[in-house]
Amino acid sequence: MKDVHHIMNPQRVHEIYPQSAYIRRVMLVRDMPRHLHDLLHRNTSHVPLLGYYALQRVAGEMQPYYEDPLESIDDFSFAVDLANKHPKARKVERELGELTVHTIREQIPFIRRANYEREV
C-alpha cells in the first residue's frame, strides 16, 4: 500500500491559515510506502505552526508544485531562514522557525528511503 504523506502534519494545525494550508499542500511525499509512513509518524515530532508573519513570508517563497519532496524541504528551510532575518522578526519567532525546520528535517531519512524504494 502507498500513501500521500503531508510533511506539514497534523492537518488541523496546518489548515488554520490560508498560507499554512498552501505550504501543506505543496510539501507532499507522493506514493510513500505505508510501512515507511507509519515508521515516520512513530519516530518524528509533529511540525509546529510558524508564527503568522513568518507564514506569510515563507508561503510567498514556496513554489506551487514540487516533484521532489526534498526540494520542498530545502526551499522551506531557506524561506524560514529569510523570514528569520527580517528586521521585525522577534527572537521567539526565530526560535519557532528553527524548531519547525528541525522537526521537518527529522523526516528526511524516511523520505529518502521512500524515494529509493519508489525507484527500485
Tens of pLDDT along the chain (120 residues) come to 899 999 999 999 999 999 999 999 999 999 999 999 999 999 999 999 999 999 999 999 999 999 999 999 999 999 999 999 999 999 999 999 999 999 999 999 999 999 888 776
Half-sphere exposure of 44 (CA within 13 A, CB side): 26
Q: Is the pTM of this model over 0.75?
A: yes
The type of residue at 43 is N
Instruction: Enumerate the β-bridge partners of residue 33.
Output: 2
**pLDDT for the residue numbered 119:** 73
Distance CA(10)–CA(1), nearest Å, equals 21
Instruction: Enumerate the β-bridge partners of residue 32.
Output: 3
* Element spanning 28, H or E: strand 28-33
C-alpha pair distances (Å), 8 with each of 17, 26, 33, 91, 120: 13, 10, 18, 23, 26
Distance CA(8)–CA(28), nearest Å, equals 8
**pLDDT for the residue numbered 56:** 97
Distance CA(10)–CA(113), nearest Å, equals 22
Q: Give the residue numbers spanning the domain of 60.
A: 2-119
Q: How many domains would you assign to the chain?
A: 1
DSSP state letter for 88:
T
